[in-house]
Amino acid sequence: MRFLDVVEVRAEHRLAHDDVAIHVGKRVDGRVKQWALPVVMQDVTDDFSYTPAPHLVMRPEQAQQLLNDLWRAGFRPTEHHSAGQFEAMQEHIGDLRMVVKTLLPVREVRAS
């Protein structure tokens, strides 16, 4: 089995610290056998004209797990919509309202 097949990346919202902790571990037979060490920052002495290797590479399902953890912790994407996208969404919502009114007429309910 490849290394990436058993790596787990999880996020924990630590309210007492006002931060998000990212945990990276390697599971073998369902148990964590290794933990990633903290990232160490190093000063760059040149113009940083090269691109370093990635610090972490994840499979799509691992990235999805990380996103799920962040969502459960209350984090949501910051979306940027253009004016055209917003207008299209408003029109779509109007269309959906019309469909709902047509297919699901409102019935009066009388109290007994």
Tens digits of residue pLDDT in 21-37: 999 988 888 888 899 99
Helices (H), the chain: 60-72, 83-103
**pTM higher than 0.85, yes or no?**
no
How would residue 3 be classed by pLDDT, with cut points 50, 70 and 90?
very low
CA–CA separation, 57 and 34 (whole Å): 16
- Residue 108 pLDDT > 50, yes or no? yes
**Beta bridge partners of residue 24, listed in sequence order:** 9
5 vs 33, higher pLDDT: 33
